[in-house]
Amino acid sequence: MSTELIKRANPADDYELLQRVGSGTYGEQEILMIRECSHANIIAYHGSYLRRDRLWIVMEYCGGGSLQDIYHMTGPLSELQIAFVCRETLKGLDYLHKMGKVHRDIKGANILLTHAGDQTLEMAPEVACVERRGGYGVQCDVWAVGITAIELAECQPPSFDLHPMQVLYLMTRSSYKPPHLKEKHRWSPLFHDFVRQCLTKNPKKRPTPDKLLSVNNGSSARLIQRRVQDDDDKDSGEEEEVKDNTV
């Protein structure tokens, strides 16, 4: 074995030694970002501890599991359940975006429920970021909401059977068309239009979370507001049933 593969010299000769474990790219900055968040739909941060050279981050406990866990057990969610999930997710994203933060990892596995059925977004420190000039912005989260809506309706995200690099290649082509719900007649026109708006290819034309939540936004808002409002009008206990069905 070449001695060049494993060096026995002092690493301080080649690297700058940091005094704090976790400071830098994936540590202190990210913890500060999630510590600043305080919203019902964002998983709460309780503290961090350094013990025996390991960084422990204490977050809110969500005993209801993730939506991915749920649809693996129960099958596809109903349109009413998906509308509820999208509404709560957009509320959390609206809060983050107005603070200048991007989630970057919205998906069924990162949407968690408490035992009471309340929904929170898991925001891992190494994934959360503050929007900066250049690159992608907050609108990538809206795209992810559309993808997640399809995932919850079909128990798998679009193009799940393709290699991620192949998907990225296809998305960069001018002929690329955003994904859509496969079963056209199973879902309402409102749901189809909501997914279409979230998956608008041009991020500058993609609606923001507050726009999607606005009552003035036509079909997308009607999907979220009317579906949940109808549920409230029928029986105050039925929304609890929606939650119970997803726990």
Q: How far apart are CA 185 and CA 104, in angstroms?
A: 31
| Structural tokens at position 245 | 């069905």
Catalytic position from the list 69, 105, 193, 210: 105
The DSSP string of 127-175 is: T-EE--SSS--THHHHHHHHHHHHHHHHTS-TTTTS-HHHHHHHHHSTT
Radius of gyration in angstroms for the set of CA atoms belonging to the chain, rounded to a whole number = 21
In one-letter notation, the amino acid at residue 44 is A
Q: Respond yes or no: is residue 105 known to be catalytic.
A: yes
Question: Which DSSP string do the residues of 17-48 spell out, in sequence order?
Answer: PPSSTT-STTTHHHHHHHHT---TTBPPEEEE
Angle at 126 between CA 121 and CA 131, to 5 degrees: 80
Inter-residue contact 58 to 48 (CB < 8 Å):
yes
- Which residues form the catalytic set? 105
